[in-house]
């Protein structure tokens, strides 16, 4: 059985560990690979998968050997394939062991997701080590066949469609959350980073002519929502009813995206899961210095809008730009809502194209 090591450092959010944990589980379950996942902080992973002991040095869950990555890294047997997720630095003694091995492991730098044009040209490019007899290869996730693809477990789309076709499954899910949405309400999930546009959006939902049921998984938006409602309990004003949830594990969060009519997401992991949910969504991209994330946002919008009528494309761009603090954006909730049928049809068609491509795990395995 091939052995893979995946290294992941947790920075300030859940995205890096969320992606690597999904990848590790899929490699084990669908490709029979022996995976060891090295993580420098297990507390965020414990939020995503509550069965994890955040203090254990080693444990096996879902077939994945999860190891705490200590500052003083031990001498361990190297793997056949080594993945450094999102440009983290593999320990020096591990690299030295790789160089000393008679059979060099495949060394992959798994990059962040982007729709920018240059990604396809850089995908799989070699990067020789400046001093050691090792070569690292860049591996870029992406939305086109000439990139590494997106994480998508086998049968994910079928499970999602079955859930969305079953009123019983959805009713049971809402009951588990302790929520009874108004049948006439637009159901929205709200997950993101701090956002100055949020108060205006909440007020637009309060003034909406029809009911809105908004579900708020715990995130950096939670304090803003709490400040908006003040001492009011429950969180209900006008036609807006808010439901605050504790942090959801990955499987429950997937179902929340499936159950809602519209999803606000952030970063990379929830962004990709919103794509597979088959519903219109709004993405809060991870902010970067010098607004470098604006180019990434616009690159995705350009790709995503292909085939969408011009009027809906304008509303989509304007709303996304405002949500991401681009000066060209306008938060026009009513205009956005009016384009919903066109956006839903377009999104479903776009997903149909994406699922014709191989997923990220398959492409990684084929690349070895």
- Mean pLDDT, the chain, rounded, equals 94
The helix-helix angle for 310-323 and 340-354 (nearest 10°) equals: 90
Residue 67 has pLDDT above 80, yes or no: yes
Please indicate, yes or no, whether residues 80 and 204 belong to a single structural domain of this protein: no
Nearest of 8, 58, 62 to residue 249 by alpha carbon? 62
92 close to 132: Cβ distance less than 8 angstroms = no
pLDDT tens for 142-191 read 999 999 999 999 999 999 999 999 999 999 999 999 999 999 999 999 99
Please indicate, yes or no, whether residues 13 and 111 belong to a single structural domain of this protein: yes
The helix-helix angle for 310-323 and 292-304 (nearest 10°) equals: 160
Which of 5, 16, 84, 111 is catalytic? The answer is 16
How far apart are the C-alpha atoms of 221 and 196, rounded to whole Å?
10
How far apart are the C-alpha atoms of 262 and 211, rounded to whole Å?
14
Looking at 129, 151, 173, which one is the last position of a domain? 151
Provide the pLDDT confidence category of residue 13 given band limits of 50, 70 and 90.
low
- Does the residue 249 lie in any domain? yes
Looking at 102, 130, 151, which one is the last position of a domain? 151
The single-letter DSSP state of residue 255 is: H
How far apart are the C-alpha atoms of 11 and 20, rounded to whole Å?
13
- Does the residue 363 lie in any domain? no
- Does the residue 221 lie in any domain? yes
Which of 5, 84, 254, 268 is catalytic? The answer is 268
Mean pLDDT value across residues 292-313: 94
Is there a catalytic annotation at residue 16? yes
- Does the residue 231 lie in any domain? yes
The domain in which residue 131 lies consists of 3-151
Looking at 108, 131, 151, which one is the last position of a domain? 151
How far apart are the C-alpha atoms of 14 and 271, rounded to whole Å?
12
- Does the residue 144 lie in any domain? yes
Please indicate, yes or no, whether residues 65 and 165 belong to a single structural domain of this protein: no
Tally of structural domains, the chain:
2
Please indicate, yes or no, whether residues 167 and 304 belong to a single structural domain of this protein: yes
Please indicate, yes or no, whether residues 44 and 173 belong to a single structural domain of this protein: no
How far apart are the C-alpha atoms of 20 and 367, rounded to whole Å?
18
- Does the residue 44 lie in any domain? yes
Please indicate, yes or no, whether residues 125 and 215 belong to a single structural domain of this protein: no
Please indicate, yes or no, whether residues 81 and 65 belong to a single structural domain of this protein: yes
Proportion of the chain above pLDDT 90, given as a percent: 87
Q: Tell me, what CATH number does 270's domain have?
A: 3.40.50
Please indicate, yes or no, whether residues 125 and 190 belong to a single structural domain of this protein: no
- Does the residue 358 lie in any domain? no
Please indicate, yes or no, whether residues 298 and 178 belong to a single structural domain of this protein: yes
pTM for the model: 0.95
Residue 293 has pLDDT above 70, yes or no: yes
The single-letter DSSP state of residue 104 is: P
Residue 233 has pLDDT above 90, yes or no: no
Please indicate, yes or no, whether residues 94 and 167 belong to a single structural domain of this protein: no
- Does the residue 274 lie in any domain? yes
Is there a catalytic annotation at residue 231? no
pLDDT tens for 27-62 read 999 999 999 999 999 998 988 898 889 899 999 999
Phi, psi of 57 (to 5 degrees): -75, -35
Residue 273 has pLDDT above 70, yes or no: yes
Please indicate, yes or no, whether residues 309 and 247 belong to a single structural domain of this protein: yes
Residue 12 has pLDDT above 70, yes or no: no
115 close to 303: Cβ distance less than 8 angstroms = yes
Please indicate, yes or no, whether residues 185 and 140 belong to a single structural domain of this protein: no
């Amino acid at each position: 059985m091939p052995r893979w090591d995946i290294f992941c450092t947790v920075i300030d959010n859940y995205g890096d560990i969320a992606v690597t944990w999904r990848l590790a589980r899929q490699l084990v379950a669908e490709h029979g690979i022996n995976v060891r996942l090295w993580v420098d902080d297990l507390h965020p992973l414990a939020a995503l998968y509550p069965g994890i002991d955040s203090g254990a040095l080693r444990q096996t869950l879902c077939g994945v050997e999860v190891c705490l990555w200590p500052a003083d890294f031990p001498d361990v047997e190297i793997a056949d394939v080594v993945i450094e997720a999102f440009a983290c630095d593999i320990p020096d003694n591990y690299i030295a062991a790789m160089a000393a091995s008679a059979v060099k492991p495949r060394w992959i730098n798994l990059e962040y997701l982007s729709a920018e044009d240059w990604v396809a040209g850089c995908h799989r490019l070699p990067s020789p080590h400046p001093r050691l007899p090792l070569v690292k290869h860049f591996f870029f996730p992406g939305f086109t066949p000439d990139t590494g693809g997106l994480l998508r477990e086998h049968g994910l789309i079928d499970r999602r469609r079955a859930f969305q076709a079953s009123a019983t499954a959805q009713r049971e899910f809402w009951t588990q959350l302790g929520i009874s949405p108004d049948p006439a309400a637009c159901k929205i999930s709200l997950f993101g980073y701090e956002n100055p546009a949020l108060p205006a959006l909440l007020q637009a939902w309060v003034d909406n002519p029809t009911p809105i049921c908004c579900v708020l998984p715990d995130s950096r938006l939670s304090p803003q929502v709490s400040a908006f409602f003040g001492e009011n309990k429950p969180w209900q004003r006008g036609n807006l009813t808010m439901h605050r949830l504790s942090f959801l594990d990955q499987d429950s969060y997937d179902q929340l995206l499936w159950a809602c009519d519209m999803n606000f997401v952030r970063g990379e992991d929830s962004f990709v899961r919103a794509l597979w949910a088959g519903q219109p969504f709004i993405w809060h991209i991870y902010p970067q210095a010098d607004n470098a994330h604006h180019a990434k946002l616009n690159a995705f919008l350009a790709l995503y809008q292909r085939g969408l009528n011009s009027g809906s494309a304008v509303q989509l761009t304007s709303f996304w730009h405002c949500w991401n603090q681009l000066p060209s954006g306008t938060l026009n909730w009513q205009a956005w809502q009016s384009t919903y049928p066109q956006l839903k049809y377009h999104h479903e068609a776009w997903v149909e194209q994406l699922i014709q491509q191989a997923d990220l795990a398959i492409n990684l395995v084929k690349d070895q």
